[in-house]
Amino acid sequence: MEETPVRLAAKPSWLLTQLAVHAHRLASEGFGEVGGRGYHYRILAALAESGAASQAELGRRCTMDRSDVVAALNELAADDLVERATDPHDRRRNIVTITPAGRRRLRLMEQALDRVQDDLLEPLPLEDRRTLTLLLTRLLTHHQRT
């Protein structure tokens, strides 16, 4: 097995990228175990936290492309996890709401995601996990503004 060059392995950008690939795989597997996907989680979480929304608003809240929102909503609606209804104020758009089944699925997905976090961060004590989350949030917030 070839080793990563030391000068590369010491770069935070490389470390974050490698860890992101691993985290994505773990999250995908965890969501898959409960019949979901990452896009499903984003949409259900946004609806549960902020209430009903148009498809365009969900795309903005979840930082998802419009076509991905439509595809994910089609999957969620097929499983009765969300409902789409014509907006009475603008008949050209749909308003999406989460159903009771959607709330149940969201709870299952949150439990799966909690297990993923525990697996991903296993070598770190609780205080280091909090610090890492704080630092990553600070970095992401900074780069989202620029």
CATH number for the domain running over 21-116:
1.10.10.10
Can you name the residues that pair with 83 across neighbouring β-strands?
97
pLDDT single digits (tens) 35-76: 999 999 999 999 999 999 999 999 999 999 999 999 999 999
pTM (two decimals): 0.88
Sign for the pseudo-dihedral over CA of 26, 77, 50, 89: positive
- Kindly give the interhelix angle for 38-50 and 66-78, rounded to the nearest 10 degrees: 90
Domain boundaries, the chain: 21-116
Contact 65, 95 (CB under 8 A): no
- Kindly give the interhelix angle for 12-33 and 38-50, rounded to the nearest 10 degrees: 80
